[in-house]
Chains A and B, each alone.
Chain A
């Protein structure tokens, strides 16, 4: 009987996947794949994973394919950190027992899901406003910006062992994200997600370019590419 159920399930998952149905099924259990973004904090607190309804505007396809086969945590304190923090003797600490791991996909499923995700592009208008010029930022200058001038490190890990924990790690950002998305999100996080935990730092066009260049530099470094 059990075997029969498994066969039926497998058959179903094959069919569903062939029709791009995995997004509507498994993925939609934890991700918002239809939009709009959360309109209230109550909804934002309840999020189990990042919104995927604009995945095609956000992610690099090759990274999706790779990560879905070998998922590693990007947000050290989970999607909404508030649900994964407890008070400790020296202050607040992450409660790992509350964190859930992402399901591992086969290469075929990862490739198929990534292709489906890349079709989701409701924010082409925001992306079209960004143009990334070629350029680079010296390591020292970028570090100064992340630390002293902009304070990104308060909430983000800017190196594997340095920075804050509530936001997604920055040292792999450019591996994961399209450059125009990074620029647009830095320019106005609220244009993408009204209740985003990311503040708008009112950066100039020039500084947005520099930040994207620095994120790209960081992600190209040997140990930061995974």
Chain B
């Protein structure tokens, strides 16, 4: 009797499990409908659909608003500015077919291609650029990228609410001619305008519907791809844009973007074939370093530590230098981060070529490199200068994250090993950390810098007096002057020397010490090629292919 009952309950249990399975089978029909494209990729001669992960919902596809990689990696392929970065990360003509620069380097005349069209078939006009750039500078827009346009005459005044839109020196002479006047000759200008915040906006669409960029249906772009669908917080898809002036060069038929915000899940989806490109989860970086799928490229950015030069003991330059020389950057990248980064022996990263073709970093040389003897000696001298018997207490502060923690712990250990000083560690939640660092509350705190545009001046100007990126209370008139001069210097050789000089002052005065430069490490499935990633700039899929 009891046996019968148990059998029945067992049967029920199996039935419930089976019911789950049954609905799973039923579910397979759903991907069939929307999944044609996925199937197509496996068939030869089918559509070429690249499967990517965007990590999160794009902040905004309004070119003026989404100041981050989750917005601009995608937008960079939906729209196109006057210039675009080529394979060697140099700006070349894109929507503009000709660029004329006046002798004094102040006036740029862009001729827009006749065949440059919006995805709705209408021609891209100079007026679209004027509209977009004024939109970015409009104080009402509150664009976080607006400062990038301050090179343009009248831009800063308009953005800070003092000038008017008409005074911004961006003029459409006719439908296809755009004239821009700068406040000072800026070598990097053609590079700066590859940034998505300088993309045009289809004026008629935006005038009719200010929310045009929030849905796939209303989105109008002029890039190699068009936005086919957008399911918020879930995924979005691209289709090749046949209206694009260079559509022939575009090899992919489409791109499907997921929004997976967990690096382990992303990697597992890559393993399962649901993604073509993946980041490397930090726990696996060591074992994946030799993977044939791995692509490692430079990124213009620096991981560094800031001293507070008003707090003891870092008011003393030699003590600052002593700690900096006690840091073994090679050991950190080799045994701690294990992600293939380049150790940083100076502040400005690799990836900026000077007029003579040498990299800025090589020209400036290895300024801060681990030297135990020198560090000990500097510490002694520094303490003697200040008359300290024992070194004031030091606390290293970092924002809570395992990757910051292991570096901070390594520093603690290296200071102990080399200088025999005990430092304390303190971790702080990241938003609190950012706020407190700006208020100079920390003695020694971690930081990072990523370039906004491809010029060393962008990195170095962070440390001019009063810059909101300074956060060290360090001020040096000579350094300030060099940066100011470099910004107006027309001779590129002389400008380059000024920047190298500025870098040397920064690394001698040492309000900061560098740890490593950033890099971009990605896994790409076999057959995926042609994805462009630049040291400064966003992912470019125009020439990408998938076989």
Do A and B bind? no
Which residues of A does B touch, CB under 8 Å?
Answer: none
